[in-house]
Structure 1
Amino acid sequence: MTVDLNADLGESFGRWRLGDDAAMLDLITSANVACGFHAGDPTTLRTTCRQAAERGVRIGAQVGYRDLAGFGRRFVDVAPDDLAADVLYQLGALDGLARTAGSRVGYLKPHGALYNTVVDHPRQAEAVLDAVVAWSEATGAALPVLGLPGSVLLDRAAARGLPAVTEYFVDRNYTDDGRLVDRRRPDALIDDPAEAAERAVAAARDGRARSFCTHGDSPGAVQMARAVREALTAAGITLEPFS
């Protein structure tokens, strides 16, 4: 039994520091690296890519709305052509930084409001996929897409011949219909490392998803990631990037 453990990284900007990317990269197998639209300046992203490459951690492009002020957590009613171009722009920028570090972008994951929007919004989901398909055709390899099980994004990604990778959040609560609880609600986040670890083991045994996410921007992010990793390993579950 194997699972991938991912986290959102590269989200510092200038003098504003968010999270401990170096410590998180010692614990995870895939890094969802910001691409400058919702967070991350070029120096931060370059450093994060280099640190990921040094540790053999797969780099994913975490693309989002052009919304630095809102950290990408506000819906933007952007035209499909513009959204596709924005996604391609972010992919290209991060891949260039990753390649100078001896790696490359190995998958795509939407961030924040875009992640939630493409669960049910066909036009924006297709716009994201238009960019991924264009990128895949240009590079000669189908780029995997990471997202919520049952989402429009993953359903249409699979229909278009892209690897669709299901994701489970060990530190987020879910609604009865399998959506993420709105962050504005007090029960949205799980901050107890032991609880997150128990959820991760149960989800792995249930085969709930191929990749598990633990956020890198919370105060106890490193402790939670360590607890989740140790619990999964103790349960006989191998951690490795999804194939």
Structure 2
Amino acid sequence: VRMKSFLAENDESAMKKLEEFTPSLLIVDLVNPDSQGLELLGRLAASTNGWAKIPLVILSNTPDNCEAYENLSSHASVVSKENLESSELIISAMKAVTKTNRLLLAEDKAVLNTEIPHNEGETILVVEDTPDNMELFGWILDGESLNYEGVEDGQSALNAVRQKKYDLILMDINLPDINGKDVTRSIRKISAYENTPIIAVTAHAIKTEIEGIMDSGITELVTKPINQTELISVINKHLPH
């Protein structure tokens, strides 16, 4: 099994790493130099930025406590460090990922037919992680007297669409956590957003990349650097009136 990994020697180092990027899997040794046992797990569970939903493998020194620890997180798989073999660790990682995927799928199904409150007036959701580009979007949309809300990553976009109904979404493809294509696929699973215009704004202009972007459920694509006239034309074309 090949994967890119990063090592954090203690709780604070782990939290700093999580601030930099969101991993696909966390392996947590409960016996860390500055850890108070389950303190790190508690901080992950209490977070509001999606860390609680990262697949988790917990390494425990006490085999008898494995089941108790596993009950602490619905996304966790617990394995004893006693005579630990690599194959056992890989199996535990697969279990954690499988559990997480099932839970996320259940969450998606729960919102498929949920009635989402509509914003007053036409509102655009802008998904863009670069501050300069977000500022430019704001300047352009304000100039057209268009209401908008901005988020800077994929998870925030998914949280936003589950709480409100937007009339149009401007989607950056290169996001720091979940790429824009996967975010779009998840949004399309929500019944209220099956036909909502989602406009990709990306620097990728190669034909094969464009095809992959459009296949994710994107309505239309606008390339960067952003051209004000083109962007407004596309928005007016798709925004309900």
Query: Which structure is higher in RCO with an 8 Å CA cutoff and minimum separation 6?
Result: 1
What is the TM-score normalised by the length of structure 1? Answer: 0.29
What is the TM-score normalised by the length of structure 2? Answer: 0.29
Higher CA-based Rg: 2
